Structure 1
Amino acid sequence: MKRTFIAYNLVLILLVIIAFLGITFSLTNYVSKRQTASMLEVMLDDTVISYNLSELSDADFVKNFESSKRRISIIDEAGNTIADSMMISTSGNQLSYPELMTLGKPYSRYSESLKLNLMYIAQTAENGKYVRVAVVMDEYIKFSEQTVLLLVIISITIVGIAFFMLKKTSNLFLKPIKDVSTSIKTVKDGDYQWILPNSDYEEINGLYREINQINEQIVNQIKTLELRDEELKLLLSHMQQGILVIGSDQSIILSNEKSRNLLKLKVNSEIIEIRHKELYQTIAKATQVDTNVDQKLLIDQRHLTIKITSVNHRILIKDKNPYGVLVILVDETERILLENNKRDFFANVSHELKTPLTAIKGSAELIHYDMVSKTDEKILSKDIIYQVETMNSLIQDMLELSRLETRPKLELEVINLKSLLELVLEQLQSTAISKSIKIAFETEDMQIKGVISDFRSLFKNLIENAIKYNVDGGMIDIKLYKKDAIYFVVKDTGIGIPKDQTDRIFERFYQVNKTRSKLQNGTGLGLSIVKHVVSYYKGSITVLSELGVGTTFTVMIPT
């Protein structure tokens, strides 16, 4: 703006100076010629009077003017030059020149014989001849040129002075604009700086004060809007529901992360990117027709309850459609899975308890009604004890699983894993001996911070399964070592697990061979307990198995 201001004013000054020079030159030239013409008229009158009174010959008459700055020529009636004060021989008919064609009127022209610019004027003498007077104009032209040069120099000087004056003036008058521009930029950045009203002009100081007040109000409004925006983002980001606000042009105006994750949408997308056809069609229809519906849909294996409501509000109206749309998505997958798990859990528990209770009832009734011998009573009593132990194991595993799922706050302690493993092996030694199973183990002395019952359950269930589902006289190889993490490996020579069932063995109550599990007093909860422990400590468990060869469980716990 500063350059434009200076350039504009300089161009204006130059145009004024050029106009001034043109007018001045024209006036000077006109006045100069006019003065010369008037002087020539006087000279002509004097010369004609002198010629009429003179008794000298024409040649002698013109000699009187040889030392003067004027040229005097005597021309006869035929147009021939009889005498010339500059003694220049002129040929040709002089009557063709304008000064002789129009007597008494001065004319300027270039003389080929003298190679000079002259002004001529002529008049008829009493004897019928023509008396012509001329003066040289070169001096006047040179004077005009010098005058113009001087005016140009003065004009350049004026332009230079004007440039510096304009620059100073522009700095003075454009500074308020620059200050205002700087303050507006700070307003945009949210860090407004006041403009000090220190100008020499009270009008500008008043402008500064007004701008300061306006900018302060704008900054306060910006901060309020930013705070509201942060509050809205905080609210949306922590909502358990997904939110979509859709304009009438089907563009997504507002969305939270929950809704984008559920529908696989990007920020600032459109509903056409919704891949579920039924949901897309319902939302599109809601922009055209007043709608208030609830939908239950399965999208990407997630159970969603979706409320779609048409909203007629000016901020949502983007085109010819009359409605914007508010979409609320509730992910009920966990609730449904929990209900299914509860239902399955109670069904499985009821089934698992029903078998031993039926056996206990049957045996007890036979004993009660004296329907068996003393020898059979002992057998039935032993079966009752076995069934009670089965139920007790089931209840203990259920309680342990419940503890792992609810995770009550327990104080962590430093656990010596080697000592704990040796204790578990000692407790299971008798079971292994009963099946003639040999156990080989390699351990390192290591410690971890955790809940001791977690690692006791981890060791017990994996080793107990290796014993239960092993063949008589089989082998179990156990390793506990530490590298980048803690590794616990249990390898057996048991019956193995079919490959299509290895992903399901960690489910509650799932048993590969239910008949064998019943014989081994299995509950189907052991590996589920192991999985919960490993997940809690952010570890992993892998299974390698081959039917008739054996199974290897590898647990990794990060340190």
Structure 2
Amino acid sequence: MFKSIRWKFITVYFLLVYIAMVIVGAFIIEQFERQQIEQISKSMKQHIDNIYNIVTPLHKDDWSKVKEEINAGINKVSLGYNESLYIVMNSDDLEIIGSKSGNLRNIIGQKAYETKKLNKALISQALKGEIAEAIPPKGSDGNDERVKHIAYPILNNVGQVKGIIYLTSKLDYVDETINSSKIMLTEATILALVITVILGFFIAKSITGPIKDVTVKAEKMAKGDFNQVVEVKSDDEIGQLANMFNYLTQKLKKTISEVYREKSKMDTIFTYMADGVVAVNTNGEIIHANPVALKILNLLESDINTKKFDEVVRSLSEKITLEYIKNSEKWEGDVVIELRNSTYRAKYAPFKNDKNQIGGLIVVFQDITEQHRLESMRKEFVANVSHELKTPITTIKSYTETLLEGAVEDKQLASQFLNVINSESDRMARIVRDLLQLSNLDYKQTKWNKVTIPVKEMLEEIYLKMKISAQEKGQTLSLNIEDDMPEVIFDKDGFEQVILNIVSNAIKYTPNNGNIEIKAFTQDDNILIKVKDDGIGIPKEDLDRIFERFYRVDKARSRELGGTGLGLSIAKQIVEAHNGEIQINSEFNVGTEVDIIVPAKKACVIQT
């Protein structure tokens, strides 16, 4: 009988109500008792205040001289039948100098620590100037009932305890009230449990009927294509229902899980892939577009159901419209399009429907802006290299042919031609050397010999090397270095190459009688080297490209001065390879300031 779900319901209801009543009853009684005791404690403290105000001899500092007056004053105080009052003087023997009780004998003259009626711990605490209160265990103070004790210290004018007003109050009324409450709660619990059993019986009966009906329907569902059996351990109606529905659930769960997993995987791929993906049916309606595609096509989610694909992409390229693809009958292909300063390759291919027919088109938009830019830079780089090498080669060839045709007989002319050939050969050698160095830097093949470099000494050496070049143009080259300049971890040749390149450029592009300043100082954990000039400066539109290879602001002047257009690019890569940074600030016809920032030795980790 008790295997029936009906009785399980009744048992559960019975236990729930029983536990709830016990918990609620315990909580109510505990709260009621605590509230009653707090009220008694508050009343006792107010009573003590009244006693102190009524018994004026208590205001004296020396109670030993006013014992009789205190005791007489106490006798005038009204106490409840369950209250007892004691006045303890702070003397060597802690004498009780006053006492009054509604039903206890007088204990005046006894020592406070020797009578059971007073709690020693509370007296000790009160002697420290603290109000002490407690409910000692039954019988500890000679009473069979619970008693509330309060020891109230009385202080003299200098803040010392001169005595204690000790008040007790029996809690028999509280205990009687609590016992009555417990009886009432017990009776209420029994009544509630009886009602619960009766109601539970009818409620359980109303539940098991529908469960049996559902079980019959589940058995009909189980006669379908689902043949997996799930073990059920219980024998009641819920067990039968679980047997059928678990059987069905497992099959459905497996199928739905597979579908959901595939959908989730595809959604994740489409959402986080770098390319834009758009799916279009044969009617030209957009049936799916991932976030990247929406951004590329400048669409909102709501536009997917309202706008046609051809309407959106026709302005980009006619060749990726569904109409064009249908007419051309070429369902696979790709088109390069330009859109908002970006370049995209739109690849498209058909997808099949459940009838293995073309159900629509998948278009993938790949951002090839960077690839396109790199390809343009590569072509430009090859063209620049060809141009840079072509000029000296042409010069060398033409001068050589002239010498071969007889100019070699003219020694003065031949000497001039040979000097030009030698100069152009040096220029070619510089270009090839710089290209090789850039290649090594690009492919991380440069082996850096990182050592500790004293910045001050290195800058002074470079200053002396470049001072002559500056003086030849009447320029003022100055060097200002902070005291106690820290060292850096750097490749010595690389450090020298970077500084020489920057200072050399400053000298080249600063007019005669100009000023060039080299400064070095610490900034946080870095060393900042500034090279500042008042030369021709760099136009604002050229600043962003100043570190590009072969880029020159004034190409004719740069070649005339022997530049290859690679120096700044090399300097930037060398500095960055040493965890540094190089910045250029310039104003046309005003001057240029180059900042080289490298970590000081204490902030570096040597890497080779």
Aligned in 2, Cα 1:378/1:434: closer, same or farther, shift over 3 Å?
farther
Aligned to 2:499: 459
Aligned in 2, Cα 1:360/1:214: closer, same or farther, shift over 3 Å?
same
Q: Give the TM-score taking structure 2 as reference length.
A: 0.51
Q: Distance in 2 between matches of 1:538 and 1:313?
A: 58
| Residue 495 (1) aligns with residue 532 (2) | no
Aligned to 2:514: 474
Q: Distance in 1 between matches of 2:527 and 2:308?
A: 50
Please list the CA deviations of residues 221-255 of structure 1 after superposition, one character each: whole Å capped at 9, or x if unmatched: 56545654565467657867543223557335253
Tell me if the contact between 1:442 and 1:479 (Cα under 8 Å) persists in the aligned partners: yes
Aligned in 2, Cα 1:435/1:254: closer, same or farther, shift over 3 Å?
same
1:424 Cα offset (Å):
4.9
Tell me if the contact between 2:271 and 2:290 (Cα under 8 Å) persists in the aligned partners: no
SS at 1:350 equivalent: helix
Q: Distance in 2 between matches of 1:263 and 1:529?
A: 40
Aligned to 2:570: 529
Aligned to 2:423: 386
Aligned to 1:250: 285
Q: Distance in 1 between matches of 2:196 and 2:272?
A: 69
Q: RMSD between aligned alpha carbons? A: 4.8
Aligned to 1:342: 378
Aligned in 2, Cα 1:233/1:346: closer, same or farther, shift over 3 Å?
same
Q: Distance in 2 between matches of 1:224 and 1:454?
A: 60
Aligned in 2, Cα 1:309/1:435: closer, same or farther, shift over 3 Å?
same
Q: Distance in 1 between matches of 2:420 and 2:475?
A: 25
Look up the equivalent residue of 1:352 and give its one-letter code. Answer: E
Aligned to 1:545: 587
Please list the CA deviations of residues 416-457 of structure 1 after superposition, one character each: whole Å capped at 9, or x if unmatched: 472665565555455334434333234464566677776555
* Gapped regions of structure 1 (runs ≥ 5): 1-157, 179-194
Alignment of 1:257-336 (within 5 A): 257=292, 259=293, 262-264=296-298, 270=304, 277-279=314-316, 282-283=320-321, 285=323, 292=331, 294-313=334-353, 323-336=359-372
1:466 Cα offset (Å):
0.7
Tell me if the contact between 2:537 and 2:586 (Cα under 8 Å) persists in the aligned partners: no
Look up the equivalent residue of 2:241 and give its one-letter code. Answer: L
| Residue 206 (1) aligns with residue 240 (2) | yes
1:465 Cα offset (Å):
0.9
Q: Distance in 1 between matches of 2:303 and 2:212?
A: 44
Look up the equivalent residue of 1:513 and give its one-letter code. Answer: D
Q: Distance in 2 between matches of 1:176 and 1:442?
A: 98
Aligned to 2:161: none
- Higher mean displacement: 367-376 or 297-306: 367-376
1:349 Cα offset (Å):
2.0
Please list the CA deviations of residues 244-282 of structure 1 after superposition, one character each: whole Å capped at 9, or x if unmatched: 22355733525374x455445566862669965434874
Aligned to 1:59: none
Alignment of 1:220-235 (within 5 A): 220-221=254-255, 224-225=258-259, 228=262, 232=266
1:326 Cα offset (Å):
0.5
Aligned to 1:150: none
Alignment of 1:47-58 (within 5 A): none
Tell me if the contact between 1:242 and 1:330 (Cα under 8 Å) persists in the aligned partners: yes
Please list the CA deviations of residues 181-210 of structure 1 after superposition, one character each: whole Å capped at 9, or x if unmatched: xxxxxxxxxxxxxx9946451x43233234
Q: Distance in 1 between matches of 2:465 and 2:271?
A: 51
Q: Distance in 2 between matches of 1:488 and 1:234?
A: 49
Q: Distance in 2 between matches of 1:316 and 1:251?
A: 20
Alignment of 1:92-491 (within 5 A): 163-169=199-205, 197=232, 199-201=234-236, 203-221=237-255, 224-225=258-259, 228=262, 232=266, 241-247=275-281, 250-255=285-290, 257=292, 259=293, 262-264=296-298, 270=304, 277-279=314-316, 282-283=320-321, 285=323, 292=331, 294-313=334-353, 323-368=359-404, 369-371=406-408, 373-408=410-445, 413=450, 416=453, 418=455, 421=459, 424-425=462-463, 428-443=466-481, 445-446=485-486, 456-484=496-524, 487-491=528-532
Aligned in 2, Cα 1:176/1:344: closer, same or farther, shift over 3 Å?
farther
Q: Give the TM-score taking structure 1 as reference length.
A: 0.55
Aligned in 2, Cα 1:385/1:502: closer, same or farther, shift over 3 Å?
same
Aligned in 2, Cα 1:406/1:426: closer, same or farther, shift over 3 Å?
farther
Q: Distance in 2 between matches of 1:337 and 1:328?
A: 20
Q: Distance in 1 between matches of 2:298 and 2:529?
A: 39
Q: Distance in 2 between matches of 1:545 and 1:350?
A: 32
Aligned to 2:595: 554
1:164 Cα offset (Å):
4.0
Tell me if the contact between 1:491 and 1:553 (Cα under 8 Å) persists in the aligned partners: yes
Aligned in 2, Cα 1:457/1:208: closer, same or farther, shift over 3 Å?
farther
Tell me if the contact between 1:439 and 1:477 (Cα under 8 Å) persists in the aligned partners: yes
Tell me if the contact between 2:440 and 2:446 (Cα under 8 Å) persists in the aligned partners: no
Aligned in 2, Cα 1:359/1:507: closer, same or farther, shift over 3 Å?
same
Tell me if the contact between 1:252 and 1:269 (Cα under 8 Å) persists in the aligned partners: no
Look up the equivalent residue of 1:250 and give its one-letter code. Answer: E
Q: Distance in 1 between matches of 2:251 and 2:448?
A: 55
1:297 Cα offset (Å):
1.3
Aligned in 2, Cα 1:174/1:451: closer, same or farther, shift over 3 Å?
farther
Look up the equivalent residue of 1:529 and give its one-letter code. Answer: I
1:492 Cα offset (Å):
0.9
Tell me if the contact between 2:527 and 2:597 (Cα under 8 Å) persists in the aligned partners: yes
Tell me if the contact between 1:286 and 1:325 (Cα under 8 Å) persists in the aligned partners: no
1:486 Cα offset (Å):
5.1
Aligned in 2, Cα 1:175/1:242: closer, same or farther, shift over 3 Å?
same
1:461 Cα offset (Å):
2.7
Please list the CA deviations of residues 86-143 of structure 1 after superposition, one character each: whole Å capped at 9, or x if unmatched: xxxxxxxxxxxxxxxxxxxxxxxxxxxxxxxxxxxxxxxxxxxxxxxxxxxxxxxxxx
In terms of Rg, which structure is larger?
A: 1
SS at 1:278 equivalent: coil
